[in-house]
């Protein structure tokens, strides 16, 4: 361990040993580290504009304070920047972080991360342990797995970010509820935003999802409120999977292959949305109240209780905490605008009985599981709106 002196300015570009920063320290120029650098509690590290910090292993672990502006943190086989319980005095602004396992990770605390460029990491950013970090106006792109993971009860503020070209997920919220999730943009990803697990019930408002294979995937009893979002040019705009009882209100779904897919005991409330120009507006698959009553809890328990190593079963908790609501074989999708063509179809006798833009139990009465047929649920679509309600969401 090499404690650094007060206001020690590192200009030496050589390879440093493991460091513990315990006094106020400034970094400037080009620095290289081969292992972990720790900023101790009470210590402060300032990284000046124009600085480039290379890591060839290890991590920059901050338990004190880090202030970095217009700097680059890069390297190979390095773990990234870990912020442990830091407060709002830790600020990373206009920085590029690349080549790391996780570009920047906040474990608890409330750092401010603004106008960052997180590129080419395995995971761009990760916010956990009840962190109330602020991540805004950042460009999070081409990370090989996920742009952002929010977990462990974190309640960050996430606004104005662009998630594009990330390998699996733009952002992934699991057992967490962002305080604000607004004005973000998701483009060209296998899944733009995944929201999973009981306890994940954030409000996702005013975001734009474009050209993703799946724009939003809601899974495993997550119950978000999706409102005022624009979905356009996606394969599936909203995929509700495994008890995903989302509230879907006031969104604009346009020009998607499929606007909403509900599967496996997902009973959303879908109201006040505009569905115009999608190849199909709404589709149900493996969705049956009878199946849910007979096999739902047992099926989910098999999955959720699986131990980490795939052998034994952990104690069950989720189903007891939140038993499924009684279902009657219907999905509530009343009071939506189905577009001009859809509304014209609904005016016909055939359309009123079974509109072509909804695929449900009227089209496929049953599905087979375990050698038994189960009735596919039906969508309640009447009454419907006679005009669009989300005109201001058009691009």
Q: At closest approach, how far in Å is the CB of 322 from another protein?
A: 16
Q: Is 391 in the site for another protein (CB under 8 A)?
A: no
Pick the binder of another protein from 14, 315, 370, 391 (CB under 8 A): 315
Long-range CB contact pairs, 120-128, < 8 A, 24+? 120/144, 121/80, 121/97, 123/147, 123/148, 123/149, 124/97, 124/148, 124/166, 125/149, 126/102, 126/150, 126/151, 127/151, 127/154, 127/156, 127/176, 128/152, 128/154, 128/176
85: DSSP letter: S
**Which tokens go with 352?**
């009123």
Q: Is 40 in the site for another protein (CB under 8 A)?
A: yes
C-alpha distance across the termini of the chain, in Å: 55
The CA distances from residue 308 to 7, 156, 314, in Å, are 47, 27, 9
Q: At closest approach, how far in Å is the CB of 385 from another protein?
A: 37
Q: Which is nearer to another protein, 87 or 373 (CB)?
A: 87
156, with CB counted inside 10 A (0-12, 13-18, 19+), is buried
Segment interacting with another protein, rule: CB under 8 A, options 46-54, 164-172, 208-216, 375-383: 164-172
Pick the binder of another protein from 115, 145, 269, 385 (CB under 8 A): 145
Q: Write the DSSP string, 334-387.
A: -S-B-HHHHHHHHTSHHHHHS-TTEESTTTS-EEEETTEEEEPPEEE--S--SS
Q: Is 307 in the site for another protein (CB under 8 A)?
A: yes
Segment interacting with another protein, rule: CB under 8 A, options 113-121, 251-259, 313-321, 347-355: 313-321
Q: Which is nearer to another protein, 315 or 323 (CB)?
A: 315
315: DSSP letter: P
Q: Is 182 in the site for another protein (CB under 8 A)?
A: no
Segment interacting with another protein, rule: CB under 8 A, options 65-73, 167-175, 210-218, 231-239: 167-175
Host H or E run for residue 302 = helix 297-304
Pick the binder of another protein from 81, 92, 100, 146 (CB under 8 A): 146
Q: Which is nearer to another protein, 71 or 174 (CB)?
A: 174
Q: At closest approach, how far in Å is the CB of 64 from another protein?
A: 9
Pick the binder of another protein from 3, 8, 314, 352 (CB under 8 A): 314
Report which of 70, 187, 49 is spatially closest to residue 117, judged by C-alpha positions. 70
Q: Which is nearer to another protein, 127 or 346 (CB)?
A: 127
Q: At closest approach, how far in Å is the CB of 199 from another protein?
A: 12
**Max CA distance (Å), the chain:** 83
Q: Which is nearer to another protein, 59 or 251 (CB)?
A: 59
Give, in degrees to the nearest 5, the angle at Cα 44 between 39 and 45: 75
Q: Is 93 in the site for another protein (CB under 8 A)?
A: no
| φ and ψ of 222, to 5 deg | -70, 150
Q: At closest approach, how far in Å is the CB of 167 from another protein?
A: 10
Query: Where do contacts with another protein occur on this chain (CB under 8 A)?
Result: 1, 20, 38, 40-41, 57, 63, 77, 79, 84-85, 107-109, 122-123, 126, 129-130, 145-146, 149, 151, 168-169, 172, 174, 196, 307-315
């Amino acid at each position: 361990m090499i404690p650094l002196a007060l206001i020690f300015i590192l200009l030496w570009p050589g390879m440093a040993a493991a460091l513990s920063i315990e006094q106020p320290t400034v970094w400037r120029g080009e620095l290289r580290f081969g292992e972990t650098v720790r900023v101790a509690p009470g210590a402060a590290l300032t990284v000046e504009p124009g600085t480039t910090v290379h890591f060839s292993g290890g991590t920059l672990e901050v338990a004190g304070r880090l202030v970095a502006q217009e700097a680059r943190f890069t390297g190979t086989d390095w773990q990234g920047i870990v912020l442990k319980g830091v407060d709002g005095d830790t600020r990373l602004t206009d920085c590029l972080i690349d080549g790391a396992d996780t570009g920047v990770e906040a474990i608890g605390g409330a750092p401010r991360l603004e106008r960052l460029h997180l590129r080419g990491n395995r995971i761009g950013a990760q916010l956990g342990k009840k962190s109330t970090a602020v991540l805004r106006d950042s460009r999070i792109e081409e990370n090989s797995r996920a742009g952002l993971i929010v977990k462990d009860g974190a309640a960050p503020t996430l606004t104005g970010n662009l998630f594009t070209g990330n390998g699996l997920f733009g952002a992934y919220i699991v057992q967490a509820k962002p305080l604000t999730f607004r004005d973000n943009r998701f483009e060209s990803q296998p899944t733009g935003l995944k929201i999973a697990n009981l306890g994940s019930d954030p409000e996702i408002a005013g975001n734009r999802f474009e050209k993703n294979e799946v724009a939003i995937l809601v899974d495993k009893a997550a119950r978000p409120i999706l409102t005022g979002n624009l979905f356009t040019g996606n394969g599936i705009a909203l995929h509700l999977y495994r008890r995903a009882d989302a509230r879907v209100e006031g969104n604009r779904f346009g020009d998607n292959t499929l606007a909403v897919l509900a599967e496996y005991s997902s009973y959303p409330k879908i109201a006040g949305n505009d569905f115009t120009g999608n190849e199909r507006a709404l589709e149900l698959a493996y969705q049956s109240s009878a199946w849910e009553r007979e096999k739902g809890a047992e099926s989910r328990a098999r999955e959720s209780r699986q131990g980490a190593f795939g052998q034994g079963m952990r104690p069950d908790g989720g189903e007891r905490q939140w038993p499924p609501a009684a279902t009657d074989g219907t999905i509530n999708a009343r009071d939506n605008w189905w577009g001009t063509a859809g509304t014209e179809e609904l005016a016909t006798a055939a359309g009123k009985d079974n509109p072509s833009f909804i695929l449900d139990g009227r089209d496929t009465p049953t599905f087979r599981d375990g050698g038994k047929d189960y009735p596919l649920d039906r969508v309640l679509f009447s009454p419907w709106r006679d005009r669009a309600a989300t005109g201001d969401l058009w691009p």
